[in-house]
């Protein structure tokens, strides 16, 4: 009912020109990837050198990540496309963005772990192979890459510069968080007829999911891939923890 009422109140864009279509690794996409790398380097250097601007940039990035969901809702509403399937922050990357915002503001270790594992195991894939239809300067393009690039920058920053690496037992915790996410989102999808987490069907754009078989088998393959990616992401820290224990 809420989505029906909002759709009646939305602005009309009947005469607006059609936005340009997005294509992976187009000029705009390459610029975003380049800016992401520069942001990772610049933010890390500002923290390593203890520049006064470092905490300001970190909180600005954290605030941006926390605002990506309401900004996305506003963009969908203003362009007449708000619906149950895009109104809630229930995608894997949404959880990473919220956790990243909390991590940058509070240094909460669980939030740091979630943005690190979710961000590099999942959101990085979305940054490289975006599920996006519209190109720059459409607001949807801007919000999409603010979220995905911001999560990847944050995931690396909390680990490299803020010295909040995964703690012992992080692999078990993240597997538990991932399974809780999967079960919760599956229930939401069943109740609302949505496709959060792409648990019901694959994204329209080409992605790694295309290589994982048909539904529902690709969901199991995604969970196995998460375990593999999480293990690889945790391996350097596991080795470091073992060395510290021996000493």
φ, ψ (nearest 5 deg) of residue 67: -90, -10
In a domain, 127, yes or no: yes
For residue 7, the model assigns a pLDDT of 47
Tens digits of residue pLDDT in 122-149 = 999 999 989 898 999 899 999 999 999 9
In a domain, 197, yes or no: yes
For residue 214, the model assigns a pLDDT of 78
Distance of CA 219 to the CA centre of its chain: 18
For residue 206, the model assigns a pLDDT of 65
Residue 201 pLDDT > 80 = yes
Give the domain range for residue 71. Answer: 23-246
Q: What percent of the chain is modeled with pLDDT above 90?
A: 70
For residue 5, the model assigns a pLDDT of 46
In a domain, 39, yes or no: yes
Tens digits of residue pLDDT in 213-247 = 777 778 888 888 888 999 999 999 988 878 877 76
The structure tokens 């949505």 sit at: 194
- Number of domains making up the chain: 1
For residue 245, the model assigns a pLDDT of 75
For residue 12, the model assigns a pLDDT of 52
In three-state secondary structure terms, 21 is strand
| C-alpha–C-alpha distance, residues 171 and 176, integer Å | 9
- 91 dihedral zone (left: phi>0; alpha: psi -120 to 50; beta): beta
**β-strand partners of 134:** 21
In a domain, 109, yes or no: yes
Residue closest to 95 by CA, chosen among 40, 174, 168, 169: 174
For residue 221, the model assigns a pLDDT of 85
The mean pLDDT of 87-113, rounded to a whole number, is 96
> Is 237 or 211 the better-scoring residue by pLDDT?
237
In a domain, 17, yes or no: no
Give me the sign of the Cα torsion angle 195, 201, 206, 207: positive
For residue 103, the model assigns a pLDDT of 97
In a domain, 186, yes or no: yes
Residue closest to 227 by CA, chosen among 195, 179, 186, 160: 179
Residue 204 pLDDT > 50 = yes
In a domain, 12, yes or no: no
- Paired tokens of 109: 């270790």
Which of 3-7, 13-17, 78-82 is the most confident on average?
Answer: 78-82
For residue 139, the model assigns a pLDDT of 94
Residues belonging to the chain: 247
| C-alpha–C-alpha distance, residues 101 and 66, integer Å | 5
The structure tokens 């599956």 sit at: 186
For residue 2, the model assigns a pLDDT of 47
Evaluate whether 21 touches 135 at the Cβ level (below 8 Å).
yes
Residue 191 pLDDT > 70 = yes
In a domain, 208, yes or no: yes
Evaluate whether 117 touches 174 at the Cβ level (below 8 Å).
yes
């Amino acid at each position: 009912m809420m989505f029906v009422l909002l759709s009646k109140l939305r602005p009309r864009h009947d005469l607006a020109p059609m936005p340009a279509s997005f294509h992976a690794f187009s000029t705009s996409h390459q610029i975003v990837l380049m800016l992401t790398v520069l942001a990772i380097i610049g933010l890390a250097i500002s923290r390593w050198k203890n520049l006064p601007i470092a905490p300001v940039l970190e909180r600005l990035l954290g605030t941006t990540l926390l605002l990506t969901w309401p900004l996305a809702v506003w963009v969908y509403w203003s362009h007449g496309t708000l619906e149950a399937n895009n109104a809630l922050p229930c995608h894997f990357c949404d959880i990473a963005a919220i956790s990243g915002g909390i991590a940058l503001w509070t240094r909460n270790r669980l939030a740091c772990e979630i943005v690190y594992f979710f961000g590099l195991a999942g959101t990085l894939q979305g940054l490289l192979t975006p599920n996006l239809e519209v190109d720059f300067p459409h607001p949807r393009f801007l919000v999409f890459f603010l979220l995905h690039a911001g999560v990847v920058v944050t995931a690396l920053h909390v680990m490299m510069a803020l010295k909040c690496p995964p703690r012992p037992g992080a692999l078990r915790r993240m597997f538990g968080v991932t399974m809780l996410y999967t079960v919760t989102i599956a229930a939401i999808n069943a109740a609302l007829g949505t496709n959060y987490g792409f648990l019901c069907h694959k994204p329209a754009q080409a992605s790694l999911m295309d290589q994982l078989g048909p539904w529902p088998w690709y969901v199991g393959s995604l969970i196995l891939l998460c375990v593999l990616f999480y293990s690889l992401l945790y391996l350097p820290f596991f080795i470091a923890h073992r060395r510290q224990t021996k000493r």
